[in-house]
Chains A and B, each alone.
Chain A
């Protein structure tokens, strides 16, 4: 029997390394599913990085991935990184920033401002804070809250943490961690090999036997224990494939590689389609967004994935690659059921073609959740609409959290088209039960989902009337 933990050994001849705070550390005696967090704490005895939840939602385990040619340091949750994903990479941990003899200025500021109480979350906040200070972002309440949206503190109530960050002068505290270049290569850990193909065509060979699993960012798959089933012995990482990492813009569309991280997409799209920014900023936290990919979010095909409704109403197409070649399909044909899609075992999503909507179209992307930041949608609604003299000329509606798949509400769109906006919205509200049939779960009752869905149409009406982009409690 094959087990997926502990007691097996590195069998590869080649020495495999990870650079931790500029020091080369060999990967020894670990199985394929060990996380970066456990490796740091148990194997390297570096216990400054803490485990708070092991599900990527508290940030106590934050570390920085220092990519070559990347001006920004990327903080991630080390509990969601498998060691095979970061072979040859450079990591900065809390120990790499300072110690009591020679602390980093942000560590001093945290101490001075009483920004730690029990102290367990503190290293994670320092990692997120230093990453923000190292970025080219302006430092204000908004960027600070964005940067800390993946870090939970249960003691301080955050105020002194935010204050501490504001007291340090940005350009005095930037760090320039050393970067060592080493190729990312295939690595065998236990009985499982992590493959890191660079060219898409390599997949044809790698997928010949059926015993593999694709891995994108890993923020979903790495939550599962075990991550692969007993028959599988190979993990094919998609994050090094050049074609999947590209973003191209032409005058009428965006071609978005599936391995582009949500954070990269967010930075790219900010000036091109600002309507998407808010919903992308509420996608996990920077710690998640630096790791999670566009392709991963679509291919998990969760009904509450935040991207699908957006891409549905933008009438995006998906480019797919497999052993039988390439094809392109409209995104509405992609989802097949709860966490199911049309991809065959050997197929991957290569890229997404997003037509840039006409300037006269209005885009609304709304998400409702118990908490604003880093929460999973109770429902979400995406609308792409064009009106002329209060008549709806064009409309696409899609929703998350109202069915077992991200729901393309084309029936509703068709009924609303060519009608007066007020009349059409009233119709949507009155007949809501014809179009959605949400369930009750821990994120909200069926009744709430229905009532708030109506509420979002009321919001739509107000936004169109007042000609505003959105209408949210966050504006206050």
Chain B
């Protein structure tokens, strides 16, 4: 297999020839829509005043919730999630109406003239406030194992604490965008920048009250997704479809950056309170913990996000007893949603923070505290949710990472660096920390773990590939194409990659949970293999050889000393009326899950990884940097090493942003203040560690039968950036005798760091 193939669109990316939704040439009658966003966090709509639009020298059309022919509803899990506010506004920046005009600029201008009269209602903006007022989206999600009360009592030491973990804007470079083209007989074609075309199809179907069969939902590529276009894209695609329905014209909805950041969900911010009971050798006996996540105004995907946070609290550690309550707070802020890691990074940051506190309390190294708690035969291999960690690769990835980073030597060097700084009264401190990680692969809800593909071979031998996954930059399309090329033993350029389209592959799952290549790669293999079997049958008759003697090799089909090119065989199949088209289907085996009890075997397998980061801080100013990072990631038998390394590097840097410079700020009225890159700072090129070594774990075939024994890679590397957060804590710990690293909340901005130093 061509394991080093570059992204299929790369040359079109670099020349600007790749077509994104907003690049599709406008049809003559296209209308552009601009959203009217609410200007309060909670209130009853008394009147929407469009009077100022009457005097405009251009025509506008107004669409509100009243125009919805079907249901004002796109909740991915539960109901009660409108596309346009109807009667009650529940967050600052919520879409209330749409103004349509001939140009984007006109629509935008006109939308600013709309006034919404409001009767203000009390709003809940913080997690603390929501918790105190019992404002939750549902009953808490509870993960329980053993008797925490009993084990806590038996523990020699107890430590309590609390900390906060900030949210994160996805900041895909392409903002939300969708175009709907109305057709005859109530047919609609929706192009949208979505990770979940099927959900767009269902959402549009519900909003328009038109059966799914009449709605084609398509996407060729996204300009970045990261989870932000899993459920959220449906809102804006739904609005564009509604407007197309009302006007009988194609309608484009493209959000400017300000509106995108204001009106679309982000990574959940968390607040955590814990008491941990442990022995004098740092063994955790009991963990009693409350996680508050900010669900926002509606539930969206917050339930599974909390479930993943709870099922990743353990990370690599065997915890004897645990009582974890996950409350999804209902607040008057934008509904938070999926974001790379999906609660996993938050859960893992929680346990790592707790281990750090134990290490400070016992005056032991963080590594020693970890060592005694790792999943192992002697400690135990059963997770708090009942799945057995059959063959942990903790020590394997750790040892490789220690080697790659020269960890133990550098630990000593950093210690003497810090001593020297103190001696010379200079302001710099360094910290070095490792982060081991286990990440569960599969959607927690078993029914999402299915995929389909559709392959056509034409009589000229060219192969058209379609599957349910979406391409958002992660290289899924080329990986799946590699699988098909490998099945037919043809070169990669013989496979034509096509847009994701619900008309070709129906009932798809979101491209999410890192599962894209596992699911779609296997479905495509199954489709290809079905055709291949027919071709083998035919070739065996043609060559008068047994099926086992038919060999596909380098674009040819060999049988003894005879052979045909792939094209010739395809033509011959057509001539002999053999179908050259097939669907393929795959469902992940072995998984089961009881969401009520939070027990089962939710993950087909685990990926493993570890990172070592070196942090530098200035104790006078809180300025900070990452100087070096070394990463080992378990990708099984990688489908494409270059693409996987790209995912690791990119995910790690995105994680650094989440934990350091990316800070979402809200006004007291609940208005998001950081609505563009001028105020919301994501990492730039200079923020990449000057020394950055990334390697895949070698000879590490997946124990489970995944596509070519590979492993998923999209999300896990992001949380390896926690190594830098811990390294910053180590540096703070070395700052002043009074410094308190445990006070450090995420993101570790200069301000947060200075606060912990001068505690």
Contacts and interface: CB of A to CB of B under 8 A. Distances in A.
Interface of A: 1, 3-8, 34, 38, 41-42, 45, 47-58, 60, 93-95, 97-100, 103, 106-108, 110-112, 114-123, 126, 141, 144-145, 148-149, 151-162, 225, 368-376, 378, 442-445, 447-448, 451-452, 454-456, 458-459, 462, 466, 471-474, 476
Contacts of B425: 462
B190 interface: no
A445 B751 contact: yes
A451 B750 CA distance: 11
Contacts of B105: 5-6, 34, 38
Interface in B1-35: 6-7, 9-20, 22-23, 25-26
B751 A103 contact: no
B61 interface: no
Interface in B660-678: 661, 663, 665, 673-674, 676-678
A107 B15 contact: yes
Contact of B646 (A154, A156, A455, A472): A156
Given A114-B7, A120-B224, A370-B681, A52 B173 contact: yes
A422 to B, nearest CB: 12
Given A452-B621, A459-B427, A462-B426, A94 B15 contact: yes
Interface in B683-740: 683-688, 690, 692
21 contacts: A1-B56, A4-B109, A5-B103, A5-B105, A6-B106, A52-B174, A107-B11, A115-B10, A117-B650, A118-B13, A118-B172, A118-B224, A119-B10, A144-B685, A154-B654, A159-B688, A160-B646, A371-B681, A372-B686, A373-B684, A448-B751
Nearest to B667: A442
A107 B9 CA distance: 12
Interface string B174-206: 110000000000000000000000000000000
A369 to B, nearest CB: 8
A7 to B, nearest CB: 5
A442 B109 contact: no
A341 B9 CA distance: 51
B30 to A, nearest CB: 11
Contact of A154 (B58, B427, B661, B682): B682
A1 to B, nearest CB: 6
B471 to A, nearest CB: 8
B616 interface: yes
Interface residues of chain B: helix, strand, loop or mixed (majority):
loop
Contact of A121 (B173, B673, B679, B687): B173
B678 A55 contact: yes
In this complex, which of A6, A34, A374 has the most chain B Cβ atoms within 10 angstroms of its Cβ?
A: A6
Interface residues of chain A: helix, strand, loop or mixed (majority):
loop
Given A158-B688, A442-B674, A455-B754, A119 B13 contact: yes
B257 A442 contact: no
A38 to B, nearest CB: 7
Nearest to B472: A118
Contacts of A472: 618, 623
A108 B18 CA distance: 15
Given A157-B653, A448-B750, A474-B625, A45 B661 contact: no
B621 A459 contact: yes
A473 B172 contact: no
Nearest to A144: B685
B428 interface: yes
B755 interface: yes
A452 B10 contact: no
A119 B692 CA distance: 23
Contacts of B245: none
B663 to A, nearest CB: 7
B269 to A, nearest CB: 16
B101 to A, nearest CB: 8
Contacts of B15: 48, 94-95, 97-100, 103, 107, 123
B649 interface: yes
B7 A161 contact: no
Contact of A152 (B109, B472, B625, B677): B677
In this complex, which of B624, B686, B754 has the most chain A Cβ atoms within 10 angstroms of its Cβ?
A: B686
A156 B754 contact: no
A458 B685 contact: no
Contact of A455 (B224, B616, B620, B653): B620
B475 interface: yes
A374 B682 CA distance: 11
Given A152-B677, A451-B754, A455-B622, 16 more contacts: A6-B102, A6-B103, A7-B102, A8-B57, A48-B17, A51-B22, A53-B677, A103-B11, A116-B14, A152-B173, A152-B684, A370-B661, A442-B665, A447-B755, A473-B428, A473-B625
A190 B645 CA distance: 52
Interface in B572-625: 616-625
A371 B14 contact: no
List the 5 closest A-B pairs by CB distance, nearest first.
Answer: A48-B16, A119-B13, A118-B473, A455-B620, A120-B223
A458 B620 contact: yes
Contacts of A476: 428, 616, 625, 627
A116 B11 CA distance: 9
Contact of B427 (A151, A373, A444, A471): A471
B749 interface: yes
Given A5-B106, A50-B174, A123-B16, A118 B222 contact: yes
Contact of A374 (B226, B654, B684): B684
Contacts of B642: 114
B226 to A, nearest CB: 7
A16 B750 CA distance: 50
B678 A95 contact: no
A456 B621 contact: yes
Contacts of A452: 620-622, 750, 754
Nearest to B652: A157
Interface in B357-377: none
Nearest to B625: A473
B108 interface: yes
Nearest to B256: A54
Given A114-B642, A122-B14, A157 B109 contact: no
A50 B625 CA distance: 30
B342 interface: no
B479 interface: no
Contact of B685 (A47, A60, A162, A447): A162
A119 B18 contact: yes
A452 B427 CA distance: 12
B107 to A, nearest CB: 9
B50 interface: no
B221 interface: yes
B22 to A, nearest CB: 7
Given A119-B10, A119-B18, A119-B223, A473 B623 contact: yes
A11 B528 CA distance: 61
Contacts of B10: 110-111, 114-116, 119
Given A6-B102, A57-B676, A370-B661, A154 B625 contact: no
Contacts of A116: 7, 9-10, 13-14, 473
A456 B620 contact: yes
A384 B223 CA distance: 47
Contact of A448 (B12, B19, B622): B622
B682 A6 contact: no
B677 A111 contact: no
A158 to B, nearest CB: 4
In this complex, which of A7, A54, A118, A120 has the most chain B Cβ atoms within 10 angstroms of its Cβ?
A: A118
Contact of B173 (A6, A47, A58, A114): A58
Contacts of B502: none
A369 B678 CA distance: 12
Contacts of B652: 157
Nearest to A159: B649
A154 B685 CA distance: 10
B336 interface: no
A117 B479 CA distance: 13
